[in-house]
Amino acid sequence: MPTLHETIVKPVMTEKSSAAYQERGEYTFEVHPHANKHQIRAALEQLFDVKVTNVRTLVVRRKEKIQGRRRGATAMWKKAVVTVQEGDSIPVFEG
């Protein structure tokens, strides 16, 4: 079972996640692969002092990469899309 600080690995800052934040107020995080929705909710509420209303998770599968003669693959990781209560915000995404 991951600890509080191991549960949330890092925020995901992409064009798609920024658009989701602007349109729907959804925050995207990379999370520990064994963390469940309840652990993600508890970690975010304690770390950022917000009220989480919805957590959706998905596993991002590995992708094959070819560079010249070398073949490889990206790593698998788990993503969480989180919605917080109206009026709350996470300061990592502001700015």
pLDDT value of residue 1: 74
Position 93 confidence tier, pLDDT thresholds 50, 70, 90: confident
Q: Is the pLDDT of residue 24 over 80?
A: yes
Structural domain includes residue 93: no
Arithmetic mean of pLDDT, 50-61: 97
Q: Is the pLDDT of residue 84 over 90?
A: yes
- What phi, psi does 24 have (nearest 5°)? -120, -5
Structural domain includes residue 89: no
Share of the chain above pLDDT 90, in %: 80
Q: How many domains does the chain have?
A: 1
Residue 74 DSSP one-character state? P
Write out the two tokens for 14.
Answer: 């992409």
Mean pLDDT for all residues in the chain: 93
Arithmetic mean of pLDDT, 37-61: 96
CATH number at residue 19: 3.30.70.330
Structural domain of 68: 4-84
| Backbone region of residue 48 per phi and psi (left: phi > 0; alpha: psi in -120 to 50; beta: other values) | alpha
